[in-house]
Structure 1
Amino acid sequence: MSSDSDDDMPLARTNGKHVSEAHISKAEDKALDKAQDKAMEKAGSKAKNVAVGISVRNGPVDEMDIDEPLTNGNAKRKSRGSTSKAVNYNDSPEGESDEDAVPLAKRQKTSKNVVESESDDDAPLAAKRKPGKLPPKATETAYGESSDDDQPLTALAKKKVEIEQHAAKEAKAIRAKEAKEAKKPKKSVKKEESDDEDVKPKTKRKSNGTASAKKSNGVKKEESDSDVPLSKKASAKKTNGKVKSENASPAKKGKGKKDESEEVEEVYRWWDAPKKEDDSIKWDTLQHNGVVFPPEYEPLPKNVKLLYDGTPLTLSIEAEEIAGFFGAMLNSTHNVENPTFQKNFFRDFTDEVKKTGGAKDRDGNKVAIKDFDKLDFKAIFNYYDGKSQEKKARSSAEKKADKAEKDKLEAPFTQCIWDGRKEQVGNFRVEPPGLFRGRGEHPKTGSVKRRVTPEQISINIGKEATVPTPPEGHKWKSIQHDNKATWLAMWQENINGAYKYVMLAAKSSIKGQSDFKKFEKARELKKHIDRIRKEYTKDLKAELMADRQRATAVYLIDKFALRAGNEKDSENEAETVGCCSLKFEHVTLSNDPPNTVIFDFLGKDSIRFYQEVRVDAQVFKNLKMFKKSPKSDGDDIFDRLTTTQLNKHLTGYMPGLSAKVFRTYNASYTMSELLKDLKGSNMSIQEKIKLYNDCNRKVAILCNHKRTVGAGHEAQMEKMTDRIKGLRYQQWRIKQMMIDIDPKIKKKKPASYFELHEDLDQEWIESHQKFLIEEQKSKIEKKFQKDNEKLVADGQKEMKAKELTERLAVVGELEKKFKKENKTKKVDAEGKGPSIEKCETNVEKLDERINTMNLQAEDREGNKEVALGTSKINYIDPRLTVVFSKKFDVPVEKFFSKTLREKFAWAIESLEDEDGWEF
């Protein structure tokens, strides 16, 4: 133990880094206490109003096009939508947000925000970052306000305290109940399965796969979306864990018989099936057809060449393909202008050129490629861009025919037979070769991803099953029969040596069981959360530095949803961190207001994590101690703690408990408590949806699952405002038609009824009229084109341009009508048999639409700093959403898209006949 006199001695150094003393002296503790008391005294009333445990400000992050985290396969990289496109005034499906309509992985891709890379690769991470302009400092009510309720941050903090206090009482009650039941004598009757049995932690199952434990068995988490269309959700009576899908049988009479080749789909209700004795055995029989390989490379035409210093080069097929990778993506300036991307590409390209006989000019003379800046890829880019434009210009019929052909070829690979039942395969395509992009400032960005051959692929299949036939002239690396693994095929990619796996789809029973176990583990944490919080609060003052650091880390993970973090090999991976791997420069301490901590680092997937939070005084003091001089940039904050040690400590409370379980528990338990207080009997569907979203939003705030405002948020809000104004204009025109039908109506209604809404002015009206004219013109032209395509497909002649001209005549009439209305300020009645009653009905309908859209706009504005989809899909038990849906009689489709309904079929159907389920 360090003596009091050791305070001024420098910290120990390990591997060039300063390491905290093993013991904390009483003198140091007292000195920090005095400094803390002075700071609090100076703050005065500020100190009393500190909202502890909630983030008060999120910083900005810069957008970057990145590779999606794939299980395998060639996911398409989609370009970002322009915010300058014409406004679409058509209402989106009620209650289903844009966020829900997009698969999670792809949605994340559009919101990934990382710092821009710089040429100085050796500079420290903090120095390389260009954080940009931070948002204005938050006031006391800047965050934590719902759109319909001005709730100050301090009020939400109090709510968080109430929830934590209730959790402690509930944990004690659960343990007391279990202890009481354990003392009861066992009855000699057949044991019935109960919900409590499902909650009990299972024995720790063995890892999947065959890779080494050092790489976490190489298993990369599969994304929740699938390239394969998911089948319709079944809803039928169960029979021994299986049901026949009602949707699979012919539903409409008079439509002809269903194709005899189509089988009636069976849905496996694993949640009703008997529990397996050995949880580590995943299957008894397994049959599948392997993987789909990308097409072979098509050489460039002879007139399309890579230029070097103006000289056309003749390259080997292998080198030409690599040159094509770079040339095809010249429009992705963020990548091709990145010095690290250029350096890695140039190294791999020139290595391939040398290995395959070198580059030659027209006369066959060798050309030494030494300078990247002398390479000219424009001809290659123009060639591939031209092919891309041709592909886009295909008719709808051609696109459908191509898709049908592709689907037919891939159909055998989309499903496997798992224990005698069909299961959907997630991504069965092998990744095509290309240039690695990576996430954030990845040191290997621009490196060549090599083509994967069958000789690199291991197949996992049942012993009695027929092994898939590899492409002609090839053979598989190995054939395995590992029934404790859930992967179907596996290979190792060449960039980072990571293992890629073909797994089952998100809707499969295996994935469903994985989700179920995750949420059940979070439910199990309910029993222990009070003891864990009590012990880490006590250890915040521990004498041993290791104990104090561990307690502080658990506090941050529990309160602020920080990930545990793992050490990275900076030479091969982007420098991302979590709680246990935080560096000196990632944590800034401030006493204005008191006990404020600013976290600023690159977290998972190189997304910049910026949060300004208020912590307990003891935690602030501890962080100050962990940053004690002479520590500086590069030194670890938690230098006596690793993620492995942290998780090992947590398993002492509960089998299988790790840092990530806290995120799921906090989100689900908080949502559960908020939903209990809800009342909404006399609300519309849209109001109930907003009520749910308000709870979801509070979960994100209370659990610190916030995000920065998206770059396109303002444009989206402007678009919604324009749509509402468009409806108001439509309403005004109908009211003017009422005057045209019966001028006496003006005396029967108040004058304000016929007035133009204050949000509308003549300039906006004229602009909107132009939009309506262009919209109608566009619709007519598209309809004409589709009609012609249909005629050609049926073997008939196309319509002549004269037909289009005649159809477009109505556009001219509409333009004249608007000009007349603007001049006379009068609107002629439209439609068949116009009447006052019909107009009033239409006005009322528009009122409903306007109110609905106003609610949606308020909801979206309230969600600008909250990723509702992320918390709803990943952290909140889906059964809570189903409970809300049943309680308030709102279709579950309003909360879960089709893909999510299939993913969470177990949650939806397991609660069909159950009332009163609680997390």
Structure 2
Amino acid sequence: MTVKPKHELSSDEEDIPLNSQKKRRRANATPANGNDIKIVKKEEDGYDSDEALSKVSRASKVSKVPKKNKSQKKKKEVPQKIVKEETANEEDESRDASIDAEDFKWWENQNKDDSIKWTTLRHNGVIFPPDYQPLPSHIKLYYEGTPVALPPQAEEVAGFFAALLESEHAKNPVFQKNFFEDFLQVLKESGGAKNSIEIKEFEKCDFRKIYDYFELQKEQKKQLSPQEKKQLKLEKEEFEEPYKFCFLDGRKEQVGNFRIEPPGLFRGRGAHPKTGRLKRRVYPEDVVLNLDKEAPIPEAPDGHKWGEIRHDNTVQWLAMWRENISNSFKYVRFAANSSLKGISDYKKFEKARQLKEHIVTIRADYRKNLKSKVMLERQIAVATYLIDVFALRAGGEKSEDEADTVGCCSLRYEHVTLKPPNTVIFDFLGKDSIRFYQEVEVDKQVFKNLTIFKKPPKKPGHQLFDRLDPSILNKHLQNYMPGLTAKVFRTYNASKTMQDQLDLIPNEGTVAEKMLKYNAANRTVAILCNHQRTVTKGHAAAVQKATEKIEELEWQKIRYKRAILELDKSELKKDPKFFEEIEDLTKEEEASIHKRVIEREREKYNKKFARENEKRKFDKEELLPESQLKEWLERVDELEEQYKKELETGEIQLKATLQNVEKLRAQIDKLDQRIETSTIQLKDREDNSQVALGTSKINYIDPRLSVVFCKKYNVPIEKVFTKSLRDKFKWAIESADENWRF
């Protein structure tokens, strides 16, 4: 949900959020009394993430004390003592809680009553984006060649568009129209241009100066040394630390999206009618916090107050606000690795597993109802068939200001083409405006029913299932099983398909070969669920780099085989097949490989020299002399001469440690393994270039199936799940053994 700001700022506090900037200023300011000095000093002495929550909460209590009048000064000492007593207790609880959270295995003790989500919930609120920093006075929007003095509110919105000037979004007429309407509205709200220039036409606006300024800022930020970047990152992480965690029933749990989304221009997916609209800034007054009744209320930024404080333990969110684009609510929730999210995932997959017990009956019923005399029953039967067999989403009605995406129940006449005797062509935009195009063969009775559903007077624009919507369909499905919806079919079929595919994998080969088969199984599921993606911009370059790497490994292997023959020509008679490839490379191909290797070596040393001096400069140490770089590059020159001589004479020059046939054969074996692994990875990359494996692996395939694969085939779990996914699916990793089945 978090979106990065659309342009860079030059201030030292550019990445520090509004709340944190103000807290930093308060910490640096002269305290109002001696009690505050103790609290501030304690916070500055050392930073312990386990104590962050209670400290910030206590600080927020104490910071309100100075607002009382002078006659109340003596009374301040009493609450101060109470705060100190709470400090010790809360710090002890914090340390204990962090340990408990690690050992809390909720999956071993499931509570069937999930209407109450928590008993106690404490957190530090949310981080707001930084205040807008006005552009330098000489950077302006130009209208008909004249600079416009915009008020800050309108200048910020103009900057959002300027930052995207070279993107495809800014070239989209709908994006331009929506942006310009909202820009003019903000300009009107803020009193118009200061120099009275009236802006009427988008085409006469020139955003180039602002765009160039943002690009310069980006470039300057890139020029920071790695140490400076690291320092900024550490400062940013320190400010964010108290917001990253909350205490749920006494356990320290991670928070997901603790940042309020910054203002900007809405982009949307596909042909969204609201693309380019202004996402307005969210203020504390717009935000509702959810905590337990006894929890300390986080302090709102200076001059602001929270919109509302709730104590609703039947929900799983910590904060919420309403966004202006679709007038819907945004939520701050627990992180993916939290216990509540884990319980939710577990129940989702267990619900899909329960469908196994009813699927035979459901399929028998919908096949029988394909010939029902009641039209609604026929439509329910056909829809259930399509959802079950082709993993279509249920779909629903869309309003006019939403992208025209559809699912099964909202299919229209034009989305389905029928080719006798029983071929159906589906062509529509599904979720996230991903095109669903499939030409499939269906049951003959399903084809016949679809023909009936398309009969005149129906025409393009008319609903195919005119008596059905998702609520009717889901109500029908719940007659078979409590909680059964059309969505459960996708999870069931994805996991069942993965189980069937994994059963076909033989327990043989290298880890890379097993992973290739695992990804092929995952890809089958992704195709079933229509999880597509466009080929990334860097795909071609990545493929070329991988191909060149394999070529270089092959070349190195050939060098070593030639070296073996130079050491002992009798090896050729012993194993002629082993040396068949030594003439595979032409001199031109070898020269090209030499050039690449040498260029990469030179680049490596130049970067090493620059990196080392940046570090020394940051640490105020003496810089490496230019002679050091010269010495390194001279070694590369010697290597270049060596390769050139090898190409001319055919004689291989190797270091003394490799002047041995056995050692060379050992090196060749290692190269063979690397070539095999790299070739498999390259094939995998190309096979997956247009399929999004992650969506199905994370959301639709029961993670216990991936765990079973790793345990049964002796594949490290790190090959399947990243660190964040291992945290998210800890319950699956620890609860499933190699014999578990979906």
> Shared topology, TM-score over 0.5?
yes
Contact 1:307 1:375 in 2 (8 A): yes
The whole-number CA distance in structure 1 between the counterparts of 2:264 and 2:313 is 33
Structure 2 unaligned runs (5+)? Answer: 8-48, 51-94
Residue in 2 that maps onto 1:477: 307
Q: Give the residue type in structure 1 aligned to 2:155.
A: E
Q: Match for 1:720 among 546, 565, 568?
A: 546
Is 1:588 equivalent to 2:417 in the alignment? yes
Q: Give the residue type in structure 2 aligned to 1:515.
A: D
For the residue of structure 2 that corresponds to 1:312, the secondary structure is: strand
Q: Give the residue type in structure 2 aligned to 1:666.
A: N
The whole-number CA distance in structure 1 between the counterparts of 2:133 and 2:522 is 50
Residue in 2 that maps onto 1:387: 217
Contact 1:561 1:663 in 2 (8 A): yes
The whole-number CA distance in structure 1 between the counterparts of 2:633 and 2:130 is 45
User: After superposition, what is the alpha-carbon deviation per residue over 1:277-332, rounded to whole angstroms, capped at 9, x for unaligned?
Assistant: 63110000010000001111111111111100001111111111111111122121
The whole-number CA distance in structure 1 between the counterparts of 2:308 and 2:577 is 83
Residue in 1 that maps onto 2:189: 355
The whole-number CA distance in structure 1 between the counterparts of 2:546 and 2:658 is 33
Q: How far did 1:492 drift?
A: 0.4
Is 1:695 equivalent to 2:521 in the alignment? yes
Contact 2:412 2:461 in 1 (8 A): yes
| Aligned pairs (5 A) from 1:527-566 | 527-566=357-396
User: After superposition, what is the alpha-carbon deviation per residue over 1:174-218, rounded to whole angstroms, capped at 9, x for unaligned?
Assistant: xxxxxxxxxxxxxxxxxxxxxxxxxxxxxxxxxxxxxxxxxxxxx
CA 1:514 to 1:374, structure 2 compared with 1: closer, same or farther past 3 Å?
same
The whole-number CA distance in structure 2 between the counterparts of 1:407 and 1:788 is 26
**Which stretch of the first structure deviates more once superposed, 374-383 or 810-819?**
810-819
The whole-number CA distance in structure 1 between the counterparts of 2:605 and 2:515 is 36
Q: Give the residue type in structure 2 aligned to 1:547.
A: E
| Aligned pairs (5 A) from 1:257-656 | 266-272=101-107, 274-276=109-111, 278-332=113-167, 334-361=168-195, 366-570=196-400, 572-591=401-420, 594-656=421-483
**Which stretch of the first structure deviates more once superposed, 717-726 or 892-901?**
717-726
The whole-number CA distance in structure 2 between the counterparts of 1:402 and 1:652 is 57
Is 1:886 equivalent to 2:720 in the alignment? no
Is 1:856 equivalent to 2:691 in the alignment? no
For the residue of structure 2 that corresponds to 1:521, the secondary structure is: helix
For the residue of structure 1 that corresponds to 2:721, the secondary structure is: coil
CA 1:776 to 1:261, structure 2 compared with 1: closer, same or farther past 3 Å?
farther
Q: How far did 1:499 drift?
A: 0.6
Residue in 2 that maps onto 1:210: none
For the residue of structure 2 that corresponds to 1:653, the secondary structure is: coil
The whole-number CA distance in structure 2 between the counterparts of 1:397 and 1:317 is 34
Q: How far did 1:719 drift?
A: 4.1
**Which stretch of the first structure deviates more once superposed, 502-511 or 876-885?**
876-885
The whole-number CA distance in structure 2 between the counterparts of 1:708 and 1:276 is 39
Contact 1:741 1:829 in 2 (8 A): no
Q: Match for 1:896 among 706, 721, 726?
A: 721
For the residue of structure 2 that corresponds to 1:416, the secondary structure is: strand
CA 1:890 to 1:574, structure 2 compared with 1: closer, same or farther past 3 Å?
same
For the residue of structure 2 that corresponds to 1:401, the secondary structure is: helix
Residue in 1 that maps onto 2:35: none
Contact 2:107 2:343 in 1 (8 A): no
Structure 1 unaligned runs (5+)? Answer: 1-69, 79-229, 232-259
CA 1:708 to 1:330, structure 2 compared with 1: closer, same or farther past 3 Å?
closer
CA 1:833 to 1:564, structure 2 compared with 1: closer, same or farther past 3 Å?
closer
CA 1:510 to 1:562, structure 2 compared with 1: closer, same or farther past 3 Å?
same
The whole-number CA distance in structure 1 between the counterparts of 2:374 and 2:194 is 68
Q: How far did 1:852 drift?
A: 2.2
Residue in 2 that maps onto 1:823: 648
| Aligned pairs (5 A) from 1:136-155 | none
Q: Give the residue type in structure 1 aligned to 2:511.
A: I
The whole-number CA distance in structure 2 between the counterparts of 1:485 and 1:669 is 31
CA 1:757 to 1:666, structure 2 compared with 1: closer, same or farther past 3 Å?
farther
For the residue of structure 2 that corresponds to 1:611, the secondary structure is: strand
Q: How far did 1:496 drift?
A: 1.0
The whole-number CA distance in structure 2 between the counterparts of 1:641 and 1:578 is 12
Q: How far did 1:75 drift?
A: 4.6
Q: Give the residue type in structure 2 aligned to 1:685.
A: V
CA 1:542 to 1:77, structure 2 compared with 1: closer, same or farther past 3 Å?
farther
For the residue of structure 2 that corresponds to 1:574, the secondary structure is: coil
Contact 1:728 1:757 in 2 (8 A): no
Q: Give the residue type in structure 1 aligned to 2:448.
A: K
| Aligned pairs (5 A) from 1:897-912 | 897-911=722-736
Contact 1:436 1:447 in 2 (8 A): yes
CA 1:902 to 1:815, structure 2 compared with 1: closer, same or farther past 3 Å?
same
For the residue of structure 2 that corresponds to 1:423, the secondary structure is: strand
**Which stretch of the first structure deviates more once superposed, 338-347 or 417-426?**
338-347
CA 1:744 to 1:270, structure 2 compared with 1: closer, same or farther past 3 Å?
closer
Q: Match for 1:811 among 611, 636, 641?
A: 636
For the residue of structure 2 that corresponds to 1:459, the secondary structure is: strand
| Aligned pairs (5 A) from 1:661-676 | 661-676=488-503
For the residue of structure 2 that corresponds to 1:797, the secondary structure is: coil
The whole-number CA distance in structure 2 between the counterparts of 1:752 and 1:803 is 43
CA 1:714 to 1:358, structure 2 compared with 1: closer, same or farther past 3 Å?
closer
Residue in 1 that maps onto 2:597: 772
CA 1:600 to 1:263, structure 2 compared with 1: closer, same or farther past 3 Å?
closer
The whole-number CA distance in structure 1 between the counterparts of 2:596 and 2:705 is 43
The whole-number CA distance in structure 1 between the counterparts of 2:738 and 2:540 is 42
**Which stretch of the first structure deviates more once superposed, 404-413 or 684-693?**
684-693
Q: How far did 1:783 drift?
A: 1.3
Q: Give the residue type in structure 2 aligned to 1:74.
A: V
CA 1:566 to 1:353, structure 2 compared with 1: closer, same or farther past 3 Å?
same
The whole-number CA distance in structure 2 between the counterparts of 1:342 and 1:866 is 31
TM-score (norm 2): 0.84
Q: How far did 1:688 drift?
A: 2.6
For the residue of structure 1 that corresponds to 2:657, the secondary structure is: coil
The whole-number CA distance in structure 2 between the counterparts of 1:757 and 1:536 is 65
Q: How far did 1:827 drift?
A: 1.8
CA 1:707 to 1:448, structure 2 compared with 1: closer, same or farther past 3 Å?
closer
Q: How far did 1:391 drift?
A: 0.7
CA 1:693 to 1:74, structure 2 compared with 1: closer, same or farther past 3 Å?
closer
Report how many residues are paired.
Answer: 656
Contact 1:735 1:754 in 2 (8 A): no
Identity of aligned residues (%): 52
For the residue of structure 2 that corresponds to 1:443, the secondary structure is: coil
For the residue of structure 1 that corresponds to 2:617, the secondary structure is: helix
Query: Bigger relative contact order, structure 1 or 2, given CA contacts below 8 A and separation 6+?
Result: 1
| Aligned pairs (5 A) from 1:700-711 | 700=526, 703=528, 705=530, 707=532, 710=535
RMSD over aligned Cα, in angstroms?
Answer: 2.4
